[in-house]
Structure 1
Amino acid sequence: MKYFILIIFLLGINATAISQEDEKHPLLTDKFYLEAGVFFPTKNIKLGADASAPEEGIDFGDTFDFNDNQATYFFNFEWRWNRKWRLTAETFAVNNAARATLDSTYVFDDVTFEKGSFVRAGIEFSLYRVFVGRLISSGPKHSLGAGLGVHALNVGAFIEGEVISNDDRIDGTFQKRRVSALIPLPNIGAWYHWAPTQKWAFIARADWFGITIDEYSGGLWNLAPGVRYQIIKNFGLGIDYRILLLSARVNQNNWNGNFDMNFSGPSITLHGNF
């Protein structure tokens, strides 16, 4: 009889644990989490490529009107391989190109584009983020964690057009200059999830780092507060406001210069969890 009572007691404890787990928002419990959506960033982009004056940059946002919102894809994937640890990967990209008559004189990759030159310019930017985090605190309605990661930045820019110049050798000729670099920026980060109900969850995430390594140096802030609504068991909707602040100094054979980029705006995503 006593063994029967013990078995019933253990089954009761297990049922209670399962019930409490079921009452949690899936964001706090499910093993796999996949987001796909659209990011609408406002951009502030300054970029320089000049070995003689590497700290001077061209304001691509103002000069070529790149500051307007542009819809771009956004993907995020999270794998919790056990109760404490998780692996996260995300990516988005921004590409712009436009024509303008220069209202100032600029030097870009050793070519002087005088005021009045009619040129076409563009930027290409891709971000790939990989993050490994560990749970610090968790409960029926919250989780807090921190970890280490890396932001791989694929940055490129070009200027091309008929050049008005004081240098007779290239006056009135077509010139094109292009620079690019793949820059890894390690970071530390933390996240917090609060889910007051099985349907609603509020999230916040922050990444930061500043580093100098040989041929490049840089810093970043990556902030993303948001809200999630669970439509059905394995499917939901998310709205975030993302802020990405990047700066770097590059000293490579194909680019000696610097950039300062800010991306901020809302994102709307659909997520699947299982």
Structure 2
Amino acid sequence: MRLVVVGCAGSFPSAESAASAYLVQAEDAHGRTWTVLLDLGSGALGPLQALADPTALDLIGISHLHSDHVADLVVLNVLRRYRPEGPCPPVRLLGPEGTVERLAQMAGKDPATEVSGQFMFEPWQPGAPVRVGPLTIEPVAVDHPLPSFGVRVTGPSDADPARSVTLAYTGDTDECPGLATLADGVDLLLAEAAYIEGRDDALRGVHLTGRRAGAAAAAGKAGRLVLTHLVAWNDPQVTLAEAEGEYDGPIDLARPGAVYTI
């Protein structure tokens, strides 16, 4: 199983990165590659086209409906609907209730960007895993101002396909029981860390700091921590240092195009 970072900027695209978007890929026993897209925020469709075929996705999972996690689904719909060889078959789209309505709102209810033909929407059901090829995706409710979900994804190890491995993506969240569930025993924790200790202490129930992300990884005994949703006005080295104060395992700052094999 592989994690590919498409975009990792928090809240808005930065000069170096699109907003949140991630690919999870794995091969099945017949050698077919299965591709799951987690979020597609502002500006992410561009780099996605360099990393995967947007017309061959097997499933899309959306953590929540803020634009920096969902906006480019509107233009993905255009790419898939109007390609010269004809529309793509619809792809499964899992997200919070209201996802289709949110996309229609962002598209301005323009009939040319009607989303129902390209996306087969299903709401996340906590405690109800979703199977796609060799991957199992478990949604976990987390703490953010909008209804939000992180996900645990389990699939075959890249090094030993007979062995199962798990990665977790927090989406946007503060400390909460769901974060502990996501981090518990995972091989890789992809954790947002948009806030800074001492500066954003009064803003709870929205985002993690590097320290809180590191503490979650340590408590869950995660094998690796990747920090993402890095806001352009933050110094990423400060975020990294906060996490290193809590977690002594390997830590990476997410960067566009990075690939993590698990």
TM-score after normalising by structure 1: 0.23
**Larger-Rg structure:** 1
Q: Which has the higher helix share?
A: 2
Q: Which has the higher strand share?
A: 1
